[in-house]
Structure 1
Amino acid sequence: MSYKPHVFRLGQLTEPMYISINSEKTGANLKSLFKNNGYSVRDIQSVMGFENPQSIHKWLSGRSLPSLDNLVILSKVLHTTIEDILVVDGDVVFLFNLTWTIHLNR
């Protein structure tokens, strides 16, 4: 039996969906990705074209998140996807999956 994904139309989605990105865990994830790929903060600073490393240190500490533009660059440099860089809070993912399950079973 092959899996056939359900296609949703905008009118079918009656409940708003929210996600919450955990900035501290995303920072820890970035730190791990840097290490696994052999990059230092200075290496990433150079690739990103930043004059100083403060923004990167803020990402790693969870005080801020990279912009969408910077996430695209990071995903290319770190050979991964934006989805694998960002850490979404688990309870929100559960609600998201529950909502989709409810819609799928209608």
Structure 2
Amino acid sequence: MPTIDMKATGLNLKAIIKAKGYKIVDVQTRCGFSTPQAIFKWFRGDSMPTIDNMVILADMLGCTIDQILIITKTPA
């Protein structure tokens, strides 16, 4: 059964943001957050962006949501 690896996804998101030359404040502004705490939680794998924020991130980063998510498959 496929599941989202939250920690790996957070690290992947952080790497994509860095590779594209964005700063945390850029993501914070684009997602409409007053503080960056939610973004740091994403990076640690403590939480995931909402689907709305995933769409914003994919658009901002010029990638698909599938390229942000790290999916692991476990035996059923």
Q: Distance in 2 between the 1:30 and 1:43 partners?
A: 14
Structure 2 unaligned blocks of 5 or more: none
State how 1:80-91 maps to structure 2 within 5 Å: 80-89=63-72, 91=73
Q: What does residue 41 of structure 1 align with? A: 24
The structure in which a higher percent of residues are strand is: 2
Q: What does residue 62 of structure 2 align with? A: 79
Deviations 1:17-52 (A, max 9, x none): x42100000000001101111011111101111010
Supply the AA of the counterpart residue of 1:40.
K
Of 39, 43, 49, the match for 1:60 = 43
Greater relative contact order structure (CA < 8 Å, 6+ sep): 2
CA RMSD, Structure 1 to Structure 2 (Å) = 1.4
Q: TM-score, normalised on structure 1?
A: 0.67
Structure 1 unaligned blocks of 5 or more: 1-17, 96-106
Q: What does residue 21 of structure 1 align with? A: 4
Q: TM-score, normalised on structure 2?
A: 0.92
Between the two proteins, the alignment pairs up a number of residues equal to: 76
| Structure 1 runs (4+) greater than 2 angstroms displaced | none
SS of 1:20's equivalent?
strand
SS of 1:65's equivalent?
coil
